[in-house]
Amino acid sequence: MCCDTYSNVFLFIQTLEMEVQVMDQEVLARLIDVNDQKILQGGTPNQGIRLALTDKDGTSLFYGDVHPNVQYEYEADEPGEYRLCVQLTEQAFSSPHQRI
């Protein structure tokens, strides 16, 4: 009698979920208005949230502008420590001294 040996290999993917919620309605409205103006002028609507994701060694995994209040996912190869830096782009503010 012959028996085949099967090996089950499971691939575990670590999904990092990120969402930056802009709660200040004035800032959110400004971002929407600025992006609408860019579209009307034929530009790219790129004002909002700037995210930088790095691993524990400081290797950049993601850097770019994302829309506020939208969930983004990053598929990591392994579990570990990650650093997420969040910035609002300058156009979110109507004056240079505005605070959130």
Q: Give residue 13's pLDDT.
A: 59
Give the sign of the dihedral formed by CA 51, CA 55, CA 58, CA 61.
Answer: negative
**Residue from 71, 89, 84 nearest 28 by CA:** 89
pLDDT at 37 exceeding the cut of 80: yes
Q: Give residue 99's pLDDT.
A: 61
Q: Give residue 98's pLDDT.
A: 62
**Residue from 71, 100, 72 nearest 88 by CA:** 100
Give the sign of the dihedral formed by CA 73, CA 77, CA 78, CA 81.
Answer: negative
Q: The whole model's pTM is what?
A: 0.68
Q: Does residue 53 come out as left (phi exceeding 0), alpha (psi in the -120 to 50 range) or beta?
A: beta
